[in-house]
Chain A
Amino acid sequence: MQIQSALDAASLQARSIEHLWWWMFGVGGAIWLAVIAAMFFALRAARGRRGSDDLQHVPAESHKGLERVVSGAVIITVLVLTAFLVADYAVGRALAAHPSRALTIEVIGHQWWWEVQYDDTNPSRRLVTANEIHIPTGEQVQLKLSAADVIHSFWVPNLQGKRDLIPGYTTTHWIKADKPGTYRGQCAEFCGLQHAKMALHVVAESPAQFRAWFAQASTPNSPPSDSTSLYGQRVFLTAGCSVCHTIGGTTAQATIGPSLTHFKSRATIAAGTLANTRENVEGWIANPQAIKPGTRMPAVPLKPAELTALVSYLETLK
């Protein structure tokens, strides 16, 4: 599968758009070729004409013939454009169809990460995570998009077209993934210094696997057992981390930065910037500005032992 590509559709919506694209590419390409061919033909046809330096006088029948050709070309243009219009409307209607009830996920755009909340009428069953969205395959999923600061844009090309997240508005977006897989997306509306590194992943899995994941994600992390990780937890709670981050099951419940509950279960960190490995996490915590200059996460001064313990603790958050 081509990563983050609109030409490798994995959903109902993306597939309709991809078909439309290839059709438009074919017709559009043919038109371009026709115009260029007409241009070369016009250049060559005229070469044969000899004559004095006088201006070219066009006899009346040639002029009539030209009029007919040009009119014909205009009519063909109108027909082709009408066809494009009809095709677009047809695809638009197909994309607009959706069920009345579906799994609803709220996505809130921040500078420069994605807050993800799984809706539930029972507040205790709401799940908050960040930068990675799990959805079940084979059913329409409703995304409710809004922004906390500036305009962002939710775009996972393999699955759907994009939708802007605008402060003051809540918009609805539908995705229906065909097959399991991890699909990368990226913010597609310029949102400041780290717009380039505001990626996200949509993990589509079979409904059974999704339910299993959801159950596991809803339970808080079990407390660490070994001493290094316990020390790391203490570092997390007493250094600056708990001022911004939540870890379910602990007293750290701040919502300024991304939630770190089940942090180790995510494939990437820093909104898709780095793979979630021990070395990367250590490097990120030690100096976030070196990786994402301008990010709001400060470089918390930690002693090496503290950093190692903290990362060990984070590694236990599966």
Chain B
Amino acid sequence: MTPRDENRTLPADVTLADEELEREASRLDAVWQTKRGLWGWLTTVDHKEIGRRYLVTTFLMFIAGGIEAAFMRTQLMRPGNTLLGPDKYNQLFTTHGTTMMFLFAVPIMTAMGIYFVPLMVGARSIAFPRLNAFGYWTYVVAVVFLYVSLFANTAPDVGWFAYVPLSSPQYSPGHRVDVWAQVVTFTEIAALVAAVNIIVTVFKMRAPGMSLNRVPLFVWAQLVVSFMIVFAMPSVATGSTLMLATDRAINMHWFNPAEGGDALLWQHIFWFFGHPEVYIIFLPALGFITPIVETFSRRKVFGYTALVMSNITTAFFSFGLWVHHMFATPIPELGQSLFTAASMLIAIPTGIQIFCWLATIWSGRPELRTPMLFVLGFFFTFVNGGITGVMLASVAFDKQAHDTFFVVAHLHYVLIGGGVMPLFGAFYFWFPKITGRMLSETMGKVNFWLFVIGVNVAFFPMHVLGLNGMPRRVYTYLPETGWGPLNLVATLGAYAIAVSVVVFIANVIRSLRRAPDAGPNPWDSSGLEWAVSSPPPPYNFVHTPIATSRHPLWDTAIDLPVITGLRSDRREVLLTTAFDARPESRHYHPADSIWPVYLAGCMAVVFIGSIFSPYFVLGGLGLSLIGLAGWGWTGAQDRERERVQVHQSIVDTA
């Protein structure tokens, strides 16, 4: 699909002069800049500021989850260890899982999307800036709530998937599980908000000329994942916020068999979300790999269409797998077998993607810089996890391996190998864009080797431990089981991972202390985000670029065609059509606003208060009405629906 001819007949193929660009830039700066001080910090709606904050906060959660894991591994280092009693251990492993899954893995992927998708599609901003800010602040409420609870001895202690009846009020007295339920509520709201934002940005705000078949694979992955979030998150919200929280607070009987409820109902509702959740973590990471492989193989990726279709197919299939978490329950065998087939089938699109990347590398000229090393680490680690996943898809084998350390090994291999390794690669790749500074290659290589070795030393022995009978979630074990030596090895691997993360942090701090040394495109990559300065200005692009191919910066040599005509006296963005990205209209974007953070505070009152009294819910909703009124009031003029006149120009990017 190519842009329609009328775009090419627009007037004035003009090369814009530098002074004119500078004048335009300073006008845009004045309009798009975030105010200084605490007020500016609270009211910003710049997607890059929000994205940066998200990245920092989620990385802090990664460290917190890692510290919890370090405690757990130290406790399990020897049989009969007394570092942690059962109560503390249960709180730690639950907080570790909840932090990693809800507070780190999904939000960091959406954070990368929030920061980069508008840049990659050539837009000035994300579709709904205030909603974006609201999502971040809601996520912060979840972080604070969970960690204050951890220090107040109120952390959840029922595992990150909180099976009933253990998490029902009779067997989990107090409010620990209510904390868990509301953490899920807040992170689910934040994820939904980010998903909606990304979907609309990708469909309505792409640069002219960027038809769907020219959209970068990073953006495709984020788009697909956003749809998955929209379909999956409501399931866990129903289960956790609606059902479990009401069972506990106002004595509903959703999961009470004696009154007509069902303990298995929780598992179905949770895993219908839970399985897509891990693909929500995995698919964006696949989106990181393509630009890295392309850049460091000096070649356009092999099989663009196959990669896009694989992403979409994986997303669809992932909704049909959830019962493989429940093979040990009394679900009829015939039904379980269908899920075995689906769980094995989903390996095919993922395999296609891996083969396409290997083909790209083979036919390219690979350079082994740090981001590329992490991609190789992904191949090494994730493929292992994927294969154990296919093994676990078999009902018969899963009956031995379910709920043992074999599953722990599998899930960490796929989540770390398939999620965190590409993420580290992405950090090294896009850090110069975000901060304007390069990360050290030497430290990067140390980081990489320690990480890959640490991950494999920590988690490979767990396959053996699981097959040798070690169940999950045990705070200790007897010496006669013989599990001691492998547990010790795993703990040493965990410490190696910790050291590698410390190296990474040191690398970041060291780079941040130096003067900016990265130009707009230090890796000579092809996406539109590399056309702007590092870090990008608040308005992203002085003039909206025109995408003439899948790899704009590789195909347009020196000069980048742009569109002029958007106003620079107010925040204005260009809206384009969904499929062909023809310019359609202009939209007046909102200024900075306090209402997102205010409304996030109201959400905190409503949901945290609901644990204690219904009056908090009423009061919080009442306060929210004020916020919604304020939000709508400042929402300014309607989008001008007139056909926009845009002028195609050329900007000299040399």
Contacts and interface: CB of A to CB of B under 8 A. Distances in A.
Q: Are chains A and B touching in the complex at the 8 Å CB cutoff? A: yes
Interface of A: 2-7, 14, 16-17, 20-21, 24-25, 28-29, 31-32, 35-36, 38-39, 41-43, 45-47, 49, 51, 53-56, 58, 62-63, 66, 69-70, 73-74, 77-78, 81, 84-85, 87-89, 91-92, 95-96, 111, 149-151, 153, 155, 157, 160-164, 166-169, 171, 184, 186-197, 273, 293-294
B302 interface: yes
Nearest to A36: B380
Contacts of A58: 299, 302, 363
A161 B379 contact: no
B402 interface: yes
B480 A3 contact: yes
B509 interface: no
Interface residues of B, number: 84
Contact of B264 (A25, A63, A157, A166): A166
Given A42-B362, A46-B361, A188 B471 contact: yes
The 10 A-B pairs of least Cβ separation, nearest first, read: A161-B399, A168-B257, A4-B469, A196-B474, A88-B394, A42-B362, A171-B330, A28-B387, A56-B299, A91-B396
B402 A196 contact: no
Contacts of A95: 396
A20 B401 CA distance: 12
Given A55-B298, A169-B264, A38 B475 contact: no
A59 to B, nearest CB: 9
B86 A294 contact: yes
22 contacts: A4-B481, A5-B467, A5-B469, A21-B400, A36-B379, A36-B383, A42-B366, A54-B298, A70-B352, A70-B359, A74-B355, A89-B337, A92-B395, A155-B471, A163-B328, A169-B264, A188-B403, A188-B404, A190-B166, A192-B166, A197-B476, A293-B86
Contacts, number: 253
A18 to B, nearest CB: 8
Interface string B398-420: 11111110000000000000000
B140 interface: no
Given A20-B394, A46-B364, A171-B330, A78 B299 contact: no
Interface stretch (B3-11, B341-349, B597-605, B620-628): B341-349
Given A150-B171, A164-B330, A167-B257, A193 B337 contact: no
B284 to A, nearest CB: 22
Contacts of A29: 387
Nearest to A51: B365
Interface stretch (B157-165, B443-451, B574-582): B157-165
B385 to A, nearest CB: 10
Contacts of A35: 354, 358, 379, 383
Contact of A157 (B86, B159, B166, B469): B469
Given A45-B362, A74-B352, A91-B396, 4 more contacts: A6-B469, A28-B391, A42-B362, A111-B171
B427 to A, nearest CB: 22
Interface in B277-312: 297-300, 302-303, 306
Contact of A162 (B328, B344, B387): B328
Contacts of B354: 35
A274 to B, nearest CB: 9
Contacts of A88: 337, 340, 393-397
A84 B362 contact: no
Contacts of A5: 467-469
A211 to B, nearest CB: 30
B263 A151 contact: yes
A69 B354 CA distance: 13
B636 to A, nearest CB: 44
A293 B166 contact: no
Contacts of A17: 396-397, 399-400
Contacts of B345: 81
Given A41-B362, A74-B355, A193 B86 contact: yes
A151 to B, nearest CB: 6
Given A70-B303, A88-B340, A21 B469 contact: no
B397 A21 contact: yes
A39 B400 contact: no
A127 to B, nearest CB: 25
Nearest to B172: A192
Contacts of A196: 86, 473-477
A188 to B, nearest CB: 4
A190 B473 contact: yes
B435 interface: no
A284 to B, nearest CB: 15
A161 B299 CA distance: 49
A160 B401 CA distance: 11
A161 B300 contact: no
A38 B358 contact: yes
Interface string B553-591: 010000000000000000000000000000000000000
Contacts of B400: 6, 14, 17, 21, 157, 161-162
A192 B358 contact: no
B394 A84 contact: yes
A162 B469 CA distance: 11
Contacts of B379: 35-36, 39
A166 B482 CA distance: 30
A22 to B, nearest CB: 11
B298 A92 contact: no
Contact of A16 (B163, B344, B396): B396
